[in-house]
Structure 1
Amino acid sequence: MTHLPGSNPRLPDDINNSHTSPLADFAFMAAGLLLLIVGLSLAIGWSATWLGPHIPLSWEPQIVIGKTEEKSDHHQKIERYLQNLTTSLASETGKSAIPVTLHYLPDVDLPNAFATSGQNIHVTAGLLNKVSSENALAMILAHEYAHIEYRHPAILMLEQLAHTLLFAMLGLNEDGAGAIAGNTGLATLMSFSRKMEHASDIRALELLLLRYGHTQGAAEFFNAMMLEEDYEETGGVLSLFASHPDTNERLQRIAGYTTDGELTPLPDWLTPATEE
């Protein structure tokens, strides 16, 4: 017959206690989690940059900003001009150009242009009021086309989707599954990175040189923006797209690629305020 001890053995008081404070333990675990998230984020960015250009264009969701009602004849004429100019610039690539669709936003006074998922480029009436030559306008259109050519919207969508999934798995996202669909669909409303903007600037200058034989006028719009003190602080949905690098930095870059030449004037009827 087995006899149990009269009393249980007394364990040392510190057998399950850490030699460090609970606060230090928490800080150590938090730092480890932060390093894990940073490491995974870097891996996501690298993977998206590699995979994005391989995604079929047809897989990109169509994101079009602005009103959908019928435009006036004059606004349709402006939209066709913008479409033809962009198509002409894209044809200078020397390879199969990506088809893009131009959308003119006649009711938006904020000077801006931006590319969205689904090979869409948007141009506001405010931008047309800030350029006085076709060359200056072509620089902006070529820049936005370069974003599409380099598949920057697809890369952003992959990054957003992967980060949403990561945060959901880590319990850092309150609305996991629902946020995945919503955030992925709005991925191209995010800011393009400075690296993407730099690459698109250089590509745009290359396209201008191919089309006109020079890059004169490429800096005109950005010089005009330097005079707009409140440009970077402008509110509204389009401020999400005003994510360009520092204007001085951009002007210095363009200056390094500028070659002299004769400017091509814009059509007289292109002024947004002009109605036929």
Structure 2
Amino acid sequence: MINWKDFLTTYRGWRRRWFYPLISVAVALSLCLSAPLPGRAIELLPLLFQGAQILKISNISDRDEVRLGKQMNQQLQRQEVRIYRNSSINSYVEQIGRRLAANSDRRNIPYTFQVVEDDAVNAFATMGGYVYINTGLLKIADNEAEVASVIAHEMGHIEGKHALNQLRQSAIASGVATLTGVDQNKLVGLGVELVLKRPRSRKDEYDADTRGLRTLTKTGYAPSAMVSFMKKLLNNSSVPTVLSTHPGTSDRILSLQRQIQASPNYGNYGLDSSAYQANIRVLKR
């Protein structure tokens, strides 16, 4: 017997994944076929090839996504960020990340957690499982659960493939996909630019919040830490924050509070401020 619920879920996922790329190919094909002269059709053939390249970007495999994320990570370290080299801090953040990754919706990809030496209160993620958290954010957090909430949120972007979808849209607009194929260097450079300079959409932020809260709760961390950290940054106008480029922070806080209230059975791990300060004491020197 056909399980129509599962069938409809699969169909909707397939439709979202293929609809826009197929539209690109169809438009290019229709332009070619509708051209009144053979010479004009030849001129428009590159559009069809570009549509095929866009289709390739849209349906990138997990392995290729990880490979692309690795290349972006290498470029980031060469040009944009300086990785903090203190082994105890890196090990601590890695430990938090690994705990969360065990409850991720995408456990099939290898997550990489790195600390960036920067006093700006910031965190970000690239595709393929790469998560970055600034030393400035670690300093302002009150406890481990707050740090975990930020990491879980960034993992939510990876789980939702937000960077990958944003890259696909930008690649179409910027012409990265050409007659000669997809320019890998330009694709990597575009991905780095998107991560550092262009904020996520409101929809993506809400989605990352929901995914992050679910991972945080499943791991046993206190979900209230996600709210407390957002409130702290929202109310401290003197602090340059990760939330400064994230739209609708007040609304997001309300949404998170409603989700927490709807699921009262959760853990309270990670709220020990003294233990947290002991783990990051090297940053306070």
Q: 1:271 to 1:248 in 2, by over 3 A?
A: farther
Residue 130 of structure 1 and its aligned partner are, at CA, apart by: 2.3
Residue of structure 2 equivalent to 1:144: 154
Residue 243 of structure 1 and its aligned partner are, at CA, apart by: 2.1
CA RMSD of aligned residues (A): 3.6
Residue 220 of structure 1 and its aligned partner are, at CA, apart by: 1.6
Pairs aligned (count): 215
Seq. identity, % = 20
Q: Which amino acid aligns with 2:233?
A: M
Structure 2 counterparts to residues 184-223 of structure 1, below 5 A: 184-189=191-196, 190-212=198-220, 215-223=223-231
Q: Is the 8 A contact 1:157 1:184 kept in 2?
A: yes
Measure, in 2, the Cα distance between the counterparts of 1:150 and 1:242: 21
Measure, in 2, the Cα distance between the counterparts of 1:210 and 1:94: 11
Residue of structure 1 equivalent to 2:58: 51
Measure, in 1, the Cα distance between the counterparts of 2:102 and 2:221: 15
Partner-residue secondary structure (3-state), 1:98 = coil
Tell me the alpha carbon deviations over residues 6-40 of structure 1, each in whole angstroms, 9 at most, x when there is no partner.
xxxxxxxxxxxxxxxxxxxxxxxxxxxxxxxxx98
Q: Is the 8 A contact 1:133 1:263 kept in 2?
A: no
Q: What residue ranges of structure 1 are gaps of 5+ in the alignment?
A: 1-38, 170-177
Residue 62 of structure 1 and its aligned partner are, at CA, apart by: 2.0
Q: 1:102 to 1:162 in 2, by over 3 A?
A: same
Residue 116 of structure 1 and its aligned partner are, at CA, apart by: 2.1
Measure, in 2, the Cα distance between the counterparts of 1:229 and 1:213: 27
Residue 52 of structure 1 and its aligned partner are, at CA, apart by: 5.5
Measure, in 1, the Cα distance between the counterparts of 2:150 and 2:187: 32
Partner-residue secondary structure (3-state), 1:146 = helix
Q: 1:148 to 1:184 in 2, by over 3 A?
A: closer
Normalising by structure 2, report the TM-score. Answer: 0.63
Residue of structure 2 equivalent to 1:66: 81
Normalising by structure 1, report the TM-score. Answer: 0.65
Q: Which amino acid aligns with 2:245?
A: S
Partner-residue secondary structure (3-state), 1:205 = helix
Measure, in 2, the Cα distance between the counterparts of 1:180 and 1:138: 30
Structure 2 counterparts to residues 220-239 of structure 1, below 5 A: 220-231=228-239, 234=240
Structure 2 counterparts to residues 125-274 of structure 1, below 5 A: 125-165=135-175, 182-189=189-196, 190-212=198-220, 215-231=223-239, 234=240, 242-258=244-260, 259=264, 262-264=268-270, 265=272, 266-267=275-276, 268-271=278-281, 273-274=283-284
Residue 129 of structure 1 and its aligned partner are, at CA, apart by: 2.3
Tell me the alpha carbon deviations over residues 231-250 of structure 1, each in whole angstroms, 9 at most, x when there is no partner.
5xx5xxx97x8421222111
Q: Which amino acid aligns with 2:142?
A: S
1:100 aligned onto 2:108: no
Tell me the alpha carbon deviations over residues 87-110 of structure 1, each in whole angstroms, 9 at most, x when there is no partner.
21111137634212222123x221
Q: 1:273 to 1:182 in 2, by over 3 A?
A: closer
Measure, in 2, the Cα distance between the counterparts of 1:145 and 1:116: 9
Measure, in 2, the Cα distance between the counterparts of 1:226 and 1:180: 34
Partner-residue secondary structure (3-state), 1:129 = helix
Q: Which amino acid aligns with 2:134?
A: T
More helix by percentage: 2
Partner-residue secondary structure (3-state), 2:81 = coil
Q: Which amino acid aligns with 1:270?
A: I
Measure, in 2, the Cα distance between the counterparts of 1:217 and 1:185: 29
Residue of structure 2 equivalent to 1:80: 91
Measure, in 2, the Cα distance between the counterparts of 1:248 and 1:210: 24
Measure, in 2, the Cα distance between the counterparts of 1:251 and 1:161: 33
Q: Is the 8 A contact 1:205 1:218 kept in 2?
A: yes
Q: 1:158 to 1:95 in 2, by over 3 A?
A: closer
